Amino acid sequence: MKITEVKDLNIEGIKIIKLQRFSDERGYFTEIFKESDFLNNEQLGFFEKETKFPQCNESFSKKGTIRGLHLQWNPFQGKLIRVIHGKMIDFALDVRKKSPTLGKIIGHEMNSDSEKDSGEWLWIPPGFAHGFLALQDTTIEYFCTGEYSPGCEMGISPFSKDIDWSICDSDIKKTFDSISQGESIISDKDLNGISMNEWLSNTNSEQF
């Protein structure tokens, strides 16, 4: 596994991890994950030595689907996300009460372009509500640092008026607004999620 670049996004802790693809006339080969490289690479020092990924999920979403914004505690969930097929915008909302970016959201566009010389992971650590918008029919895979715990999850509506979009790329925000006001697909559960202020008033917010 060859890691070619680790890049910070606009909120501290959220990272892009690029992996080299070895290409020839047949296509390409790449190691997408090797535990020893993740836990011993100097560029990935933000991973603790005891970090484990006990659960891996695959999700398919039709074009225009909005999922999220989801968060979990007990156990906390960090997510390592990649696009297998398609194109999406991934979103992370900071829900950490002591964070200087509390209430702010950012988005990052990801795709499965096989012509690129590298693959890409997005790392979202615990303390964020996560969601995405499928720009095409899209399949994603994500490793989680904690197993799913249905009694310890919460959803913040991506349409909550008190989410702060000020540090999100303006083109990404425009794309989200355009699709969400048009023919988007979203579950009732996600659509009717709580607001950011309601989350901050919830006793479980003290855990972050």
The residues annotated as belonging to the active site are: 70, 142
Amino acid type, 136: Q
Q: What share of the chain is helix, strand, coil (3-state, %, to 5)?
A: 20, 40, 40
DSSP tag of 195: P
Distance CA 55, CA 113 (A): 26
Grouping H, G, I as helix, E, B as strand and the rest as coil, residue 25 is coil
d(CA 61, CA 50): 32
Going through 117-170 in order, the beta strands assigned E by DSSP cover 118-124, 128-134, 138-144, 153-155
Closest of 166, 141, 155, 152 to residue 67, by C-alpha: 155
Distance separating alpha carbons of residues 191 and 64, to the nearest angstrom: 14
